[in-house]
Amino acid sequence: MRRKEIISGFSKLSREEKVDALTHNAEKIRSQLDSFRLQNKEQQDLLDEISENTLSNFYLPFGVAPNFAINNHLYHIPMVIEESSVIAAASRSAKFWAEHGGFNARVVSVIKSGQVHFTWKGEKAKLLDLLPELKYELYRSTKELTRNMRQRGGGIQGIKLVDLSEEMNNYYQLHVTFDTMDSMGANFINSCLEQMAKTMTKFFKYYKDLKEEERDFEVIMSILSNYTPDCLVECWVECDVEELDKIQPGMSGKVFAEKFMKAAKIAELDVYRATTHNKGIFNGIDAVALATGNDFRAIEANGHVWASKTGRYKSLTHASISYNKFRYQLTLPLSLGTVGGLTNLHPLAKFGLELLGKPSAKELMMITAAAGLANNFGALRSLVTTGIQQGHMKMHLSNLLNSLKADYEEKRQAIEYFAHKTVSYSEVEAFIKSIRTKLQ
């Protein structure tokens, strides 16, 4: 039973004391939590220190979608996800496209940004006059912070003033762009921005010949943006329409391509469909992000804002048929890293990157985009042919059998029985009950 009292000093308690504080049934709960902790103390201590107030580990399946031909290079892509059929759909799409030209991908740009948000009561013209000297001080004051990044070819790419004083009185932004090379760069960007905020505060306090109101400068906050429209990747597949003839028995490649294109167009027109359509893309993208120690929450937020860039939420993909060529393309911003953070700490994240051949951040952007496009292609392929539930519920059958505590023989019979039948919880439950009744 959960305790309902306010708990003081929770973070200072030991793990055992935390469990005692959370439940009246501490001994049983602690035993359950312990069963999911690693036997390797060094690795468990590492996991405990990644987050706060850790009690145990929460496991998700670590799988692989093989045979992704991307830019004429073969990858076996690690994916961490709990949803049935996602890895199967990705693998199926990967195999099909490996035999029909593979995935093509290119990184358009890799620029990220952050802002120093501030208020200033002077005239904008004066601020613009001061900007060149201010920028010099900003570069100078962050020189040590950016030294290593600059040696690798990255660093601060630009600084500009953004005037938002019409939206909020006296409100401006210092918009700073960065190239963080193979790191996701959040800590690097935030450190630079916070140093810039200190430099600006000092600049306006001590700069000569400023009027009183021109010294009225206040930093509101300094923070990176997870919206990275200039950290962009494109991925596409294409083939002659006739090559789609074997997609679905009884359906020509021409009919499939035209129906597929209509389904993709609907996701561009209808926000209800666009949301589910894009969710299918992120099934693949998030799974790769998790498997490589990247921030899937930032990736999702970034992608959904990009999908709304026209003022209306739309799909991230586009399908076309031109001169008998079918083409399906995904374009989205992806901010990923292959060094730093969990990529260096989490053993399975390190393994995931090793499985991919230790890619650069740019290469990982293309790999991840291909996984997203593969999942989405697989979903639309099912939707315009057999329907989504047939394949999804077949994959879900094992989950249903486990929830019914089916043993090995019951599972074997159920898999054989439902090989060509519709799968539903009620049908599976009835089938298992019938087996057990016969044995009584």
pLDDT tens figures, 263-307:
999 999 999 999 999 999 999 999 999 999 999 999 999 999 999
The answer to the question of residue 252 being in a domain is yes
Q: Which residues pair with 179 in a beta bridge?
A: 155
Instruction: Write the pLDDT tens digit of every residue in 408-428.
Output: 888 888 888 887 777 888 888
437: exposed, middle or buried (Cβ count in 10 Å: 0-12, 13-18, 19+): exposed
**Which CATH number covers residue 263?**
3.90.770.10
Specify whether 21 is located in the same domain as 72: no
CB atoms within 10 A of CB 105: 22
Indicate left, alpha or beta for 71 from its phi (over 0: left) and psi (-120 to 50: alpha).
left
The answer to the question of residue 4 being in a domain is no
Residue 68 structure tokens: 């992704």
Specify whether 97 is located in the same domain as 121: no
Domain of 370?
63-109+229-386
Specify whether 430 is located in the same domain as 309: no
| Cβ atoms of 428 and 400 closer than 8 Å | yes
Residues 6+ apart with CB under 8 A from 268: 274, 314, 315, 318
| Cβ atoms of 301 and 328 closer than 8 Å | no
In this prediction, residue 1 carries a pLDDT of 53
Q: Which of 276, 269, 225, 267 shows the shortest CA–CA distance to 113? A: 225
Instruction: Write the pLDDT tens digit of every residue in 149-205.
Output: 999 999 999 999 999 999 999 999 999 999 999 999 999 999 999 999 999 999 999
The answer to the question of residue 174 being in a domain is yes
Number of domains present in the structure of the chain: 4
In this prediction, residue 389 carries a pLDDT of 61
Specify whether 170 is located in the same domain as 237: no
Which of 224, 257, 289 is the endpoint of a domain?
Answer: 224
Which of 171, 200, 224 is the endpoint of a domain?
Answer: 224
In this prediction, residue 411 carries a pLDDT of 86
